[in-house]
Structure 1
Amino acid sequence: MYEKELAALRRANRFRAPVMADAKKTDMASNDYLGLAHKRKLFRRACKRVGRYGWHGPKSSLMVGGYHPIHEAFERALCEANGFAAATVVGSGFLANLGLIEALVRRKDALFIDESYHASGMAATKSVQGRVVTFAHNDPEDLLEKLAETPVRGRRILAVEGVYSMEGDLLKREFFEIAEWFDMLMVVDEAHSNGTVGPRLLGVFDHYGIAPGERHVKMGTLGKAYGSYGAYILGSETLVAYLHNRAKPLIYATAPSLFDTALAHEGFAWVAKKRKKLRRKIEKRKAVAKKVLGFRPEGMIVPVPMPDIATAQALGRTLEEAGYLVGVIRPPTVPAPILRLILRTSVPVKVYGEVFGMIEERLHG
């Protein structure tokens, strides 16, 4: 039925298929930044945590008895560590963005969203009642221009990311200042900054030393640095209560997996305990990228621009044949193709030096 559409994707080198993880190859493609998805000790602790209760599945939505002490304990830990008043667990980062943006932007409101915001947030903009204004990626000046030329009768809402998933750049501090000047509700997607930046590895609020206020909202995922699956939203008590009453993924979806939440809680605690050691490992990998590629990553994502899709695919295959898995990212996910490498702390520093060297030789040698 969709043969023509698939044929067009193949002709444009945009056809996708699931990629099986290969344990025999060095993983530089996944978002398991800190290697927690491989730590059996955390797995066993999570099993023990779930085993304390008489049921291991959430069984229903949060609002119909699916809320569990495991969810509550994790939310409390997140609030205490991040300095927010309230939290709610969510089934995934995609659902969190869908629920947040659709629920927060009401009829008289205006959403100002970075043009590189995650696809889940962009999908949510199609269903909001208010106005949607995109601004140039990570560009405070363009945001100021858009604010000046956009009349708003209701709320102004800003949606940005802590570390952008494809570009790998860190949110500029000026956005916090602009949000304060204009009394904006500020949504920060910390999917790729949690566990990777900040003195306590808690993301951009931590990195910039910003104390969360009533107008701050933080979303984070559990399937990246914390080695599990799911997401959470942090905010004021009023905002979280509002989401419980308006965000469809919280109301109409089964509550998050108890095991995945328990596993994330164990990962979260482990990162807090090991943060100094982890930060040293992260810095060593950034130093190698700077030495070989000529730039120092702000997070743990290293995007390497490719001249065209064919070159990106060929170089990706070459690296895979050599035993290294990297992300080959093509349009429409990105404007132009890139190789996307993740500075995972479980991959030896010297291996990154070798792979970066191979890429540089192929592109410029």
Structure 2
Amino acid sequence: MKSFCLFYPSNMYQNELNAITKSNRYRSRKLYTDDLADFSSNDYLGFAENKTLFERAVTQVSQYKTHAPKASILVNGYHPIHQEFEAFLTQHNGFEAALVCGSGFLANFSLIEALPRKRDLLILDEEYHASGMVASKTVDAEVLTFAHNDANHLENLINTHNHNRIIIAVEGIYSMSGDLLNRDIFEVADRYNALLIVDEAHSVGVVGENLRGVFDLFGITPKDNHIKMGTLGKALGSYGAYILCSEHIAEFLQNRAKAIIYTTAPSLFDIALGYQGLLYILKNRAKLRVEIATRQAVIKNILNVKIDGLICSYPLREDAHALAVQQGLIEEGFLVGAIRPPTVPKPILRLIPRLGESVSQLEKLCVHIQKGAF
């Protein structure tokens, strides 16, 4: 009997890559020089450059025999650093339980993949993050999307579809548009006793009296049907994520969420670094709020765009080439995001007025954008 093997050439996806390039959707990794003023990163508070927080995290991890998690969090990967951070999160956010996760993507995937069961109804905002949209393809529940931030459309879908449980997924601040969550959605969720997942990746550290996100901003005391997801990789200058919820939901997730059960526990250093970031915010929240408001005012005064957080979605003309606009600003010394379809319906500049850069640099950038009339 003859044996044979299939040979796949190294360019087996070239046709697909050519199509991506032709549609102006080709992406690549790039290293940018440190001399660019960074208004592209999600490092909202400039913590990625804060060496004091780095050194404190090193000191915290160095107190233990192990500096790596070693296993799944449900095998032997759960560590005192994880436990201490979770206790801090529950104490300062008003939830019963917390679960640390490897990333925001894994946290969202865990929630969306595990919670909706057969005969349930899963309803996501149409602009919900890709992690949730991908996870929604794996569930047995009926999956719907509602018009962005539209509480009336959400309620109409609930009333016109059969369901057992209802799970709603929204973001505190939407990652591309920068839109703030419509508070009425909390009222709809509570009225129908629906589980409400709030992805606070882009709102923690940015909005609220204590900079804890939209629960803080809206003055909402967490209920059993509320779930909050936060990341360490945005305002906190680290990597990882957490889920805040009731004890009952936490118990269910650690028994059903595949991205929690079958992944190595989160990095101890990353959790410690995020923890130090939260401690810094707690101590310096008044000063940080002033600095955030100052940058929001610059965006409003020069670009005439009102932002609720630290994401400015600046629309480009229909005929503008996003990457060419980005390159032009790089040549002037500024790095901003050039976001193209399919991530967004129309090309935008995604400008992050992060605290890691000076107000004067932000003003210069805004003037360049305004003069360019892109």
TM-score, scaled relative to structure 1 = 0.98
Q: Give the corresponding residue for 1:149.
A: 160
Q: Give the corresponding residue for 1:105.
A: 116
Larger Rg: 2
Answer yes or no: is 1:258 the counterpart of 2:271: no
- Contact kept in structure 2, 1:112 and 1:159, CA below 8 Å: yes
Q: Give the corresponding residue for 1:12.
A: 23
Q: Give the corresponding residue for 2:316.
A: 306
* Structure 2: segments with no counterpart, 5+ residues: 1-11
Post-superposition offset of 1:309: 6.9
Match of 1:56 among 52, 62, 67: 67
Cα RMSD for the two superposed structures = 1.0
Match of 1:135 among 146, 150, 155: 146
| Partner deviation per Cα, 1:67-101 (whole Å, 9 max, x = no partner) | 00000000011111111010000000000111111
Answer yes or no: is 1:202 the counterpart of 2:212: yes
CA distance in 2 between counterparts of 1:50 and 1:310 reads 48
Match of 1:26 among 37, 42, 46: 37
CA distance in 2 between counterparts of 1:286 and 1:45 reads 30
2:169 counterpart letter in structure 1: A
CA distance in 2 between counterparts of 1:162 and 1:316 reads 27
Post-superposition offset of 1:311: 2.7
| Partner deviation per Cα, 1:218-277 (whole Å, 9 max, x = no partner) | 000000000000000000011111110001111000000000001111111001111100
Aligned length: 363
Taking only the aligned residue pairs, the percentage that are identical comes to 51
1:233 counterpart letter in structure 2: I
1:288 counterpart letter in structure 2: V
Answer yes or no: is 1:187 the counterpart of 2:197: yes
The DSSP-based 3-state class of the residue aligned with 1:355 is helix
Post-superposition offset of 1:22: 2.3
The DSSP-based 3-state class of the residue aligned with 1:79 is helix
| Partner deviation per Cα, 1:180-214 (whole Å, 9 max, x = no partner) | 11111100000000000000000000000000010
Answer yes or no: is 1:273 the counterpart of 2:283: yes
The DSSP-based 3-state class of the residue aligned with 2:321 is helix
Q: Give the corresponding residue for 2:8.
A: none
Stretches of 4+ aligned residues off by more than 6 angstroms = none
CA distance in 1 between counterparts of 2:340 and 2:23 reads 10
CA distance in 2 between counterparts of 1:182 and 1:147 reads 8
Alignment of 1:203-352 (within 5 A): 203-308=213-318, 310-352=320-362
* Structure 1: segments with no counterpart, 5+ residues: none
1:68 counterpart letter in structure 2: H
- Structure 1 window deviating more from structure 2 (301-310 vs 167-176): it is 301-310
Answer yes or no: is 1:119 the counterpart of 2:125: no
- Contact kept in structure 2, 1:309 and 1:330, CA below 8 Å: no
CA distance in 2 between counterparts of 1:203 and 1:125 reads 25
CA distance in 2 between counterparts of 1:288 and 1:206 reads 24
The DSSP-based 3-state class of the residue aligned with 1:187 is strand
Match of 1:74 among 78, 81, 85: 85
- Contact kept in structure 2, 1:13 and 1:309, CA below 8 Å: no
2:330 counterpart letter in structure 1: E
CA distance in 2 between counterparts of 1:165 and 1:284 reads 21
CA gap of 1:21–1:245, structure 2 versus 1, over 3 A, is farther
Post-superposition offset of 1:19: 2.3
1:159 counterpart letter in structure 2: A
1:230 counterpart letter in structure 2: G
